[in-house]
Amino acid sequence: MGNQQRSGPASQQAIKDIHGGLIGDAYYGKAWYSNNRESIGIGQEVAVPEWLDWDLWQGPAPRCSYKDNIVHYNWHWFWNWGTGEINNNGTHELDICRWALDVDYPSKVSSSGGRFAFKDDWQFYDTQIANYEFEGNKMISWEGKSCNNHPFFERGRGVTIHGTKGTLMMDREGFIAYDQSGKVIKEMKEVTDSGTMDLVGGGGLTTIHMLNFCNGIKMGEQLAAPVSDGYISNLLPHLGNIAQKCGRVLEVNPLNGHILGDDEAAQMWSRDYEYGWEPTI
C-alpha cells in the first residue's frame, strides 16, 4: 500500500526506538493535517470535455451528470467518488500512529466536525476530529483542517506519540524525541526530501517505497507496507467517516474491525455500485 513513510529510514528508526522504550510505554498518538484549500464553488452542468471518458472515469460509482468542479482533484470531496480528507491524507498519519502504538483494529470510534469554512458543493468535512480507542488502554486521534493551514510543531502534517516517559514527534522529514521535561533526547533527519503538502505526494520516500515494491516482486524482499496491513490503516478513516455521518460513537469488533450493533452504520460498510460494475468473486 502507498503509505510511503513506512519506507523512510528515519521513520523506521523512530518506531524501533518507540518499541524499545525510548518514551516509555506509548499509549496515545495524535495525527494532524492542515491545509488552505479554497472553495470549490457551485458546479455547473456542462458538456463533457472531448478528452474525458466520463463513463470510464466514474468507474463503479453510480452515474452522475458532469459538472465543471469535479475533475481532476475535487472528486475527493464528493461521497459518490471520494472519501474526504481523512482518507485522502489522514490515512497516512493514522497509519504511523497505529504502527507506533502496535495496534490493529479499534474497539470504539467517534468523530465530530463539519463543512465550516465555505458553503459550496464540498460534501465531506473540512474540519474533523476522529478518535479511535483500542484495547490495552491506547488511543489515536486525527485532526484535519483542510481549509486552515495553521500547523503543529511548524508542520502541516505529522504525528506525536505520547508515552509514560516522553513524546516523539515525527513526519516525513524525520523525528524529534523529548523527555517529560521537554528536553530533546534524540533526533534524526530523513535521508531524502519528500512531498508533504502538494497534490502529488512525490519525492524521495515515494521512490524508496516503489523500489521496495519492485524488489518484493523480483526478489521477495519484505514489504514495508503489505496490503494486509495497509487495509487496516485504510479502514480507520472509513470508520471515522461513518461515525461522523451517523452522528454517534461506533462500537467495533477489535478482531476484525466490523461495526457492532448498529444496522444503519453497518450499511455503509460497502458502497452502491453502478449496474454492471458490481464486484464478483
Residue 134: which CATH number? 3.30.360.10
Q: What is the pLDDT of residue 48?
A: 97
Q: Which residues, 6 or more positions from 177, have their beta carbon under 8 angstroms from its beta carbon?
A: 14, 17, 22, 23, 166, 167, 168, 169, 184, 185, 186, 187
Q: Is residue 55 part of a domain?
A: no
Does the model's pTM come out above 0.75? yes
Asked whether residue 276 is domain-assigned, the answer is: no
Is the pLDDT reported for residue 220 higher than 80?
yes
Please check whether residue 274 lies inside any domain of the structure: no
Mean of per-residue pLDDT scores for the chain: 95
- Give the mean model confidence (pLDDT) for residues 24-39: 98
Residues 13 and 5: their CA atoms lie apart, in Å, by 12
For residue 212, is pLDDT > 60? yes
Q: Residue 193 pLDDT more than 80? A: no
Please report whether residue 117 resides in a domain.
Answer: yes
Residue 119 lies in a domain: yes
Overall average pLDDT of the 117-133 stretch:
98
Residue range 41-55, pLDDT digits in tens? 999 999 999 999 999
State the residue range of the domain holding 248.
4-36+82-269
68 conformational bin, left if phi > 0, alpha if psi -120 to 50, beta if neither? alpha
Q: Is the pLDDT of residue 93 over 60?
A: yes
- Over range 52-77, report the average pLDDT: 96
Residue 257: per-residue pLDDT: 97
Q: Check: CB of residue 166 under 8 Å from CB of residue 190.
A: no
pLDDT band at 247; cut points 50, 70, 90: very high
Report how far apart the first and last C-alpha atoms of the chain are (Å, whole number). 22
Mean pLDDT, range 154-160, rounded to an integer: 96
In terms of pLDDT, which residue wins out, 268 or 199?
Answer: 268
Residue 147 DSSP label = B
- Asked if the structure places residue 60 within a domain, the reply is no
Identify the band that residue 196 occupies on the pLDDT scale cut at 50, 70 and 90: low
Instruction: Count how many domains the chain has.
Output: 1
Q: Is residue 41 assigned to a domain? A: no
Q: 167, 177 in Cβ contact below 8 A? A: yes
Residue 160 has pLDDT above 60, yes or no: yes
| Of 183 and 201, more confident | 183
Question: pLDDT digits over 95-104, tens only?
Answer: 999 999 999 9
What is the pLDDT, as a whole number, of residue 203?
78
Calculate mean pLDDT across residues 145-164: 96
